[in-house]
Amino acid sequence: MADLKTAFDAAVAHSKNLSERPDNATLLKLYALYKQASAGDNTDKKPGFGDMVGRAKWDAWNGLKGTASNEAMQQYIDLIESLS
């Protein structure tokens, strides 16, 4: 677990230095995986219709409900490596 957490933290740091900005769908996936890995299942209230970005983020994170933290970390690491 410690090795996975270390690799996850390194991937998070690397995500800020990617050579090119990922598309919005990939950014949403990264956001959702990060939130699931670090906070677990989404328990926040769904944002209103006026907050389209907030709703997109909420939907992406909520779509990972039930995914284990370790699994989300590994998926995040794999996605960052595929973007490098």
Token code pair at residue 4: 């996975």
CATH number of 2-83: 1.20.80.10
Amino acid at the residue 21 = R
Domain ranges for the chain: 2-83
Q: Which residues 6+ apart lie within 8 Å of 32 measured at CB?
A: 57, 60, 61, 63, 64
| pTM value surpassing 0.75 | yes
CA distance 57 to 7: 24
Residue 84's pLDDT band (boundaries 50, 70, 90)? confident
Question: Is 1 a residue whose pLDDT tops 80?
Answer: no
CA distance 57 to 9: 21
Averaged confidence pLDDT in the chain: 94
